[in-house]
Each structure stands twice: as C-alpha cells, then as structure tokens.
C-alpha cells in the first residue's frame, strides 16, 4: 500500500530507541523526511548513522536534533531548526515518555508531577510548536503515543496510567479544535509490546522468581494480560505500521480516535 508519505516531514520524539525508533524507520521507508529526537546527542547521531548505512536514507532526508521536551525553549528551537532544514513540518509523533512499575504507596506525589510534565505537557509543548506550520498549509498529522493503561489502568503503574488517560483526552480535544483546519489528531495505544523496556522488565521479573524468561512472560500474560488470545507479545513493527497509516492520506477521514494495538488486551468496547 502506497501511503503517499514521500517528502512529508515528520518529527518523532524519543526516537533513539524502542517504538519511537521503529516509527522513524517505518516513516523513512515510506519516503518521509525524518527528524530524530532525543535528549542525548550521541544517541541520536548513532541512530542517524544506522539510517544512513542500513536503510539507504539520504543525508538530505534525515536530521537528528537533541532536545528535552521538558524545556519550552529547547522544543521551540528544535522546530525552528526543522523548518530551516526542511522548509516545513507535516507530521508530529509524540512518542517520548517515561514509565515504571511501582505500588501506589511507594509513589511520592512529586513523581506524578514529573510523569505528567514529561508524558503529557511534553506532548503539549511539541504540539504547540508545530501547529502554526500545519495550520498555515491546512494539513497535518499529530499522533499521541498512549497506552492500554489509559482505558485499562494497571494497579502497579498509577502515575503512568493517569498520563496516558490524559493523552487520549488531549487527542480528542485537539481533534475537535483543529479538524476543520486540516490537522488530524489520533492516539495509538500499544499493549505488552516487545520493547527494550518491557523486555528488561520481563528479565527482572524472571530473575526475581528464579525462572526462565519465557516462563515468566507466559505467567505474566496469564495473570496480567489475560485477554490477549494471540499468546505472544506484540512487536514494535506492528505498532509502527499503525502510526504510519494514521500519518498518511489513507487516514484522511480519521481524527480524534484511539487505536489500540494490544492483541485484544483491553476487554472493554470503548
């Protein structure tokens, strides 16, 4: 399927690893000009070299910009640099964020502020910075990377859950505010995806229980994700494929929606 993304300029925050990196790869393969972003310049440069050497991406079609989404000025500076380099911005994938598993009574109140600032306000900062360019051309795609933990909270990640619910709400709000101006906003909610972070969590759990990782994953799924009938973790490619589709002209009548890439993990109809 030709997604007609050739030449589109896409910023993917938190794209030095995990789902963000996979999304950047998918968009680059579809012909988009990709902006890699992370807090650390060396991480971005390393990923950029992977794109140039392994994907055949041209130097003219990729740029890496270190910027902390917690910093207003850093975000504004990044967007200005993108426009100076590529001339415009068409797509924003708000992927950067943090997560951890911790019981409620071990989460200090300040951690809620920290998670909210990064996972929610960080996406607001980047969206505010790119929006004028999208409105000017009456075309834009904004994707919020949410989670199954938004509609289906996990008891061990309450501070994280709240931020992902907020992102889904933000998605709907922005879609209503800017849909008539040609800017489409959607959320993608992965669940139990084989990312480096989740793999490390599974490894840690296996070590604690003293069992092989494969057995711990099976136990974790049965106890915590019983609605996944596919009997496996999802892949980052399965998430990035959905993101790429929503960024394309093929998704021209979709806005304000939350797409769950969860293998059926969320049991509700909403």
pLDDT, tens digit, 9 for 90 and up, residues 9-48: 999 999 999 999 999 999 999 999 999 999 999 999 999 9
Residue 94 and residue 13 in contact, taking contact as beta carbons nearer than 8 Å: yes
The predicted structure's pLDDT at residue 209: 93
Share of the chain above pLDDT 90, in %: 89
Integer Cα distance of 50 and 232 in angstroms:
28
**Nearest 5°: phi and psi at 10?**
-125, 125
pTM of the predicted structure, to 2 decimals: 0.95
pLDDT tens per residue, range 91-130: 999 999 999 889 999 999 999 999 999 999 999 999 999 9
Integer Cα distance of 229 and 223 in angstroms:
13
Q: Model confidence at 224, in pLDDT bands (50, 70, 90)?
A: confident
**Nearest 5°: phi and psi at 49?**
-65, -35
Listed residue (236, 240, 261) closest to 27, CA to CA? 240
Query: pLDDT higher for 27 or 225?
Result: 27
* 3-class secondary-structure state, position 40: coil
* 3-class secondary-structure state, position 150: coil
Sign for the CA dihedral angle at 211, 217, 219, 223 comes to positive
Q: Is the pLDDT of residue 267 over 90?
A: no
Say what angle helices 18-29 and 41-54 make with each other, to 10 degrees.
40
Which residues, other chains included, contact 102 with Cβ-Cβ below 8 Å and sequence gap of 6+?
156, 157, 159
Integer Cα distance of 262 and 88 in angstroms:
33
Listed residue (109, 129, 108, 125) closest to 117, CA to CA? 125
Q: Is the pLDDT of residue 163 over 90?
A: yes
The predicted structure's pLDDT at residue 266: 87
The predicted structure's pLDDT at residue 270: 64
Total number of residues shown for the chain? 270
The predicted structure's pLDDT at residue 225: 87
Q: Model confidence at 260, in pLDDT bands (50, 70, 90)?
A: very high
Q: Region 164-187: what's the mean pLDDT?
A: 98
Q: Is the pLDDT of residue 76 over 70?
A: yes
The predicted structure's pLDDT at residue 231: 83
Catalytic residue set: 160
Average pLDDT of the residues of the chain: 95
- Domain spans of the chain, in order of start: 9-192+235-261, 194-233
E strand residue ranges, the chain: 9-12, 33-38, 62-66, 91-94, 140-145, 183-190, 258-261
Architecture label for domain 9-192+235-261:
3-Layer(aba) Sandwich (3.40)
The predicted structure's pLDDT at residue 62: 97
The predicted structure's pLDDT at residue 50: 94
Residue 65 and residue 9 in contact, taking contact as beta carbons nearer than 8 Å: no
Q: Is the pLDDT of residue 248 over 90?
A: yes
């Amino acid at each position: 399927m030709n997604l007609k993304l050739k030449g589109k300029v896409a910023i993917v925050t938190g794209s030095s690893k995990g789902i963000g990196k996979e999304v950047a790869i998918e968009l680059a393969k579809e012909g988009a000009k990709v902006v890699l972003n992370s807090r650390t310049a060396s991480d971005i440069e390393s990923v950029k070299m992977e794109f140039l050497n392994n994907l055949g991406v041209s130097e003219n079609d990729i740029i890496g910009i270190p910027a902390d989404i917690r910093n207003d000025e850093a975000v504004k500076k990044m967007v200005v640099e993108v426009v100076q380099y590529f001339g415009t911005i068409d797509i924003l994938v708000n992927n950067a964020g943090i997560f951890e598993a911790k019981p409620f009574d071990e989460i200090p109140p300040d951690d809620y502020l920290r998670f909210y600032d990064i996972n929610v306000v960080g996406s607001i900062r980047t969206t505010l910075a790119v929006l004028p360019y999208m409105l000017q051309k009456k075309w834009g795609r904004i994707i919020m990377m949410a989670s199954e933990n938004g509609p289906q909270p996990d008891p061990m990640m309450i501070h994280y859950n709240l931020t992902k619910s907020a992102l889904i709400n933000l998605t709907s709000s922005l879609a209503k505010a800017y849909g008539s101006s040609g800017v489409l906003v959607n959320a993608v909610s992965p669940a139990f995806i084989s990312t480096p972070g989740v793999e490390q969590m599974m490894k840690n759990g296996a070590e604690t229980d003293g069992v092989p990782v494969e057995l711990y994953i099976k136990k974790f799924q049965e106890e915590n994700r019983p609605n996944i009938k596919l009997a496996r973790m999802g892949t980052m490619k399965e998430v990035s494929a959905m993101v790429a589709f929503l960024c394309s002209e093929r998704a021209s009548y979709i806005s304000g929606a939350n797409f769950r890439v969860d293998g059926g993990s969320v049991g509700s109809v909403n």
